[in-house]
Amino acid sequence: MPLGFSMKEMKDNKRILVLPGDGIGPEVCKEATTILELVNEIHSLNLSFSEALVGGSAYEATGEPLPQDTLKAARESDAILLGAVGGPKWDELDYQYRPERALLGLRSELDLFANFRPAILSKYLTSSSSLKANKVENLDLLIIRELTGGIYFGEPRGRTEGKKEAFNTMIYNQDEIERIGRVAFEAAQKRNKNLCSVDKANVLEVSVLWREVITELSKEYPDVRLSHMLVDNAAMQLVREPKQFDVIVTGNLFGDILSDIAAMMTGSIGMLPSASLNSENKGMYEPVHGSAPDIAGKGLANPLATILSAAMMLRYSFGLDKPATQIEMAIDKTLEQGFRTYDLEGSEEQKLGTREIGQKVIDNLQNLK
C-alpha cells in the first residue's frame, strides 16, 4: 500500500515521466525538473527523465488529449510529474476531446485511487491566508480523497429521454472504502494519529456503508483516534477551527470541495502540491492549480506548488525523505528571505518571476549541502 514503503522493493533506476501540459504547465514543470535534476546530482539518486504530450497540446499534435504513446510512457514510468491541462482554446471541444479528460484517463488507467492534498501554511506566509493568523499559524493538515470511484465515475449517468432531467450515480463498494481507509490510517499513524472520516451518513446510503467500513477498519489501528463528521459540518469546521484536524479521509466529491477550502488557508493556490497514488506507490504528482491562461507565457507563475509536488514524489514514490525535506527547507528559506511571486502578498521590490524564484530555491538548496 502507499506509504508502507520498503527501500528493497525500489528499483535502482527511477523513471520519471514529465507531462508539462498547457498554459503555465511547461513553465512550472521546468523549474521543478531543474530542481529534481539538481538533487539527483547531489545525492546520486539515479533518476531518469522523459517527457510526453498531454492535454490541449497533445490534442493539437495528435487529435487526442491522452495519446496512446503518452499512456504507454506513463505505464512504463515509476512516477509522473504533471503541470496542468486546459485552456479557453479547447473549451468548446466535445467532452471526449477536452484536455481534462486526460487527467481522468491517467487516474483511472493507472488506478491512482489515493489523492493526497496537504495544506501546510509556511510561517512566512501567515498573512497571505484568508483566515486570521491565530486560526492558521502552523497549520499542517492532510486531506486524503478517494479519486477513482464515487459519483464522478458511477454508472448509470445521463439524461432521461424526453425529459429535462439528468442523473449521476454515487457508488462505493467495501473494497474501495477499505483500501482508501488503510492509506488514511497509515498516514495518520505517521503523523499525529488523528483521523477524521467525512461523509453524509445522515442522508446517503453510500455514506452509511462508508462509515461502517471505516469503523470496522479502525479496530486494526488502535493507536489512531478516529472521528466521523458530516460533510457540511466539516466545511464549517475547516473554516472555524482548521487546526483541529490532522488527517481527513473522504470520498471523491466531498474531497474535491473540502480540499479547495483548505487550499485557501495556505495563502495561494500557487503553493499547493498534490499526489495521487496507486497500491504500488506509483504516483502522479501535480500542483493543485490549473493552467492559469491569464498569466501563461508571461513568466509570472508561482512554481512552488510544482516543486513541492516533486518533493512529494521523492518521499512517497521513492522513499527519499532526506532530499524531499531539503527541497521543502530550501523553499521555506526562500520565503523567509522575503522573496515572493506575484500571487503572494509581499513587498513589490521582492516580487520575482517563475525562473527567478526557481533560482532562489536552487541557491538555497545548494547552500544546504
Q: Does 358 bind ligand NAD (CB under 6 A)?
A: no
Q: Does 326 bind ligand NAD (CB under 6 A)?
A: no
The least distance separating ligand NAD from the CB of residue 52, rounded to whole angstroms, comes to: 15
Stretch that binds ligand NAD, among 152-160, 161-169, 244-252, 283-291 (CB under 6 A): 283-291
Instruction: List the one residue from 255, 290, 323, 346 that touches ligand NAD (CB under 6 A).
Output: 290
Q: Catalytic annotation on 232? A: yes
Name the residue nearer to ligand NAD (CB basis): 17 or 103: 103
Q: Catalytic annotation on 285? A: no
Stretch that binds ligand NAD, among 175-183, 186-194, 235-243, 301-309 (CB under 6 A): 301-309
* Residues of this chain, 239-278, that bind ligand NAD according to CB under 6 A: 269-270
Q: Does 128 bind ligand NAD (CB under 6 A)?
A: no
Q: Does 301 bind ligand NAD (CB under 6 A)?
A: yes
Distance (Å) of CA 221 to CA 155, 282, 333, 346? 33, 24, 37, 44
Binding mask 187-206 for ligand NAD (x = CB under 6 A): --------------------
Name the residue nearer to ligand NAD (CB basis): 347 or 367: 347
The least distance separating ligand NAD from the CB of residue 18, rounded to whole angstroms, comes to: 14
Q: Does 291 bind ligand NAD (CB under 6 A)?
A: yes
Stretch that binds ligand NAD, among 66-74, 82-90, 145-153, 323-331 (CB under 6 A): 82-90
Instruction: List the one residue from 2, 20, 67, 87 that touches ligand NAD (CB under 6 A).
Output: 87
Instruction: List the one residue from 247, 343, 357, 358 that touches ligand NAD (CB under 6 A).
Output: 343
One-letter amino acid identity for 128?
A: S
Number of residues that bind ligand NAD (CB under 6 A): 22
The least distance separating ligand NAD from the CB of residue 184, rounded to whole angstroms, comes to: 22
Among the options 89, 97, 111, 260, which is catalytic? 260
SS3 per-residue string spanning the chain = CCCCCCHHHCCCCEEEEEEEECCCHHHHHHHHHHHHHHHHHHHCCCEEEEECCCCHHHHHHHCCCCCHHHHHHHHHCCEEEEEECCCHHHCCCCHHHCCHHHHHHHHHHCCCCEEEEEEECCHHHHHHCCCCHHHHCCCEEEEEEECCCHHHCCCCCEECCCCCCEECCCCCCHHHHHHHHHHHHHHHHCCCCEEEEEECCCCCHHHHHHHHHHHHHHHHCCCCEEEEEEHHHHHHHHHHCHHHCCEEEECHHHHHHHHHHHHHHHCCHHHCEEEEECCCCCEEEEECCCCCCCCCCCCCCCCHHHHHHHHHHHHHCCCCHHHHHHHHHHHHHHHHCCCECCCCCCCHHHECCHHHHHHHHHHHHHHHC
Cite the active site residues.
152, 200, 232, 256, 260
Residues that bind ligand NAD (CB under 6 A): 24, 28, 84-87, 100, 103, 269-270, 286, 289-295, 301-302, 305, 343
